[in-house]
């Protein structure tokens, strides 16, 4: 009995909580840091007509898994209010200036940045202050970062020297393109799409801008996509060397379904 109790305490001690927040969704997963398996994974839609505080109060009250002790808590902010800045051009005192060319910023906005030491750059972004304030009251302390920091770091680990790697991460109504050349970030952007034509248009536009060959350049698709989807079908008509990443082994390792991994790919790899 003592041994069983000790093992339960050990499992709780090594539970790490990851929370992904946007203005549309709240998702979380619990990952055991010993065996790297996911013990809980849930997602909720947020109501634009209710305050964040009201809705989070409901989630935390009814989700028993969120009321336990955690080894660490990581908050992932999901929005397109970010840009990557090389270290040579980075000035911590001028964060807002890097975002003013691709988004509307205000003097009252709060800016932050994540360091990507392996890539010698920083991700400058606007975090959701309301979420951070709420989680500060709940957890006391936590780590937060932008979700695209995790995405770029993840694909960096998959990129290879002396070649160009073209990754596409697909969400429900948006997708990210990440391109590395010789393990250096060559391109990153996030796009919203409504149709399959939108999807292939932006991909081919990036091919044109980077002067890549649709007959030879390999493209790997991750996230909410499979070989039967309309997005893959239209992309394969224009790009010869395109493939959807095989996630079956990863899903088994994390102890989640392949569908869950497709829908929460970045959250589960953070």
Domain range annotation of the chain: 2-77, 158-270
Residue 69 has pLDDT above 90, yes or no: no
Mean pLDDT of 168-193: 96
Q: Using an 8 Å Cβ cutoff, are 82 and 101 in contact?
A: no
pLDDT of residue 12: 53
Using the predicted structure, report yes or no on whether residue 160 has a pLDDT greater than 60: yes
**pTM for the full model?**
0.91
Q: What pLDDT does residue 3 have?
A: 39
pLDDT in tens, 21-63: 999 999 999 999 888 899 999 999 999 999 999 999 999 999 9
Classify each residue of 195-223 as buried b or exposed e, where b means 16 or more C-beta atoms within 10 Å of its C-beta. Answer: eeeebbebbeebbeeeebeeeebebbbbb
Check for a shared fold between 2-77 and 158-270.
yes
- The CATH number for 158-270, chosen from 3.40.50.2000, 3.30.420.260, 3.40.50.720, 3.30.70.1380, is 3.30.420.260
| Distance (Å, whole) CA 71 – CA 73 | 7
Confidence band, pLDDT 50/70/90 cuts, at residue 86: very high
| 14 pLDDT more than 90 | no
Q: Are 74 and 141 in contact (CB under 8 A)?
A: no
Sign of the CA dihedral running 171, 142, 12, 155:
positive
Rg (CA), the chain: 20
- Give the Cα separation of 11 and 32 in Å (integer): 7
Superfamily of domain 2-77: Protein of unknown function DUF3822, N-terminal domain (3.30.420.250)
């Amino acid at each position: 009995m003592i041994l069983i109790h000790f093992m339960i305490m050990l499992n709780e001690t090594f539970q790490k909580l990851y929370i992904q927040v946007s203005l549309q969704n709240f998702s979380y997963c619990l990952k055991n840091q010993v065996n790297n398996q996911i013990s809980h994974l849930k997602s909720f839609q947020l109501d634009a007509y209710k305050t964040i505080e009201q809705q989070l109060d409901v989630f935390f009250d009814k989700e028993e898994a969120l009321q336990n002790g955690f080894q660490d808590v990581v908050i992932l902010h999901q929005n397109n209010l970010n840009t990557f800045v090389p270290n040579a051009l980075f000035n911590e005192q001028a964060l807002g200036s890097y975002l003013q060319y691709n988004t509307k910023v205000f003097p009252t906005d709060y800016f932050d940045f994540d360091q990507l030491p392996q890539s010698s750059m920083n991700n400058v972004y606007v975090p959701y202050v309301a979420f951070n304030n709420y989680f500060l009251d709940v957890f006391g302390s936590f780590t937060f970062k932008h979700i695209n920091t995790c995405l770029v770091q993840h694909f960096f680990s998959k990129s290879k020297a002396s070649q160009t790697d073209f990754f596409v991460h697909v969400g429900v109504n948006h997708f990210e393109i990440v391109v590395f050349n010789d393990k250096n970030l060559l391109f990153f952007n996030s796009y919203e799409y409504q149709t399959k034509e939108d999807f292939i248009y932006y991909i081919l536009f990036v091919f044109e801008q980077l002067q890549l060959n649709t007959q030879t350049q390999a493209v790997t698709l991750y996230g909410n996509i499979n070989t039967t989807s309309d997005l893959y079908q239209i992309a394969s008509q224009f790009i010869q060397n395109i493939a959807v990443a095989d996630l079956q082994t990863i899903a088994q390792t994390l102890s989640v379904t392949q569908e869950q991994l497709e829908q929460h790919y970045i959250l589960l790899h953070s």
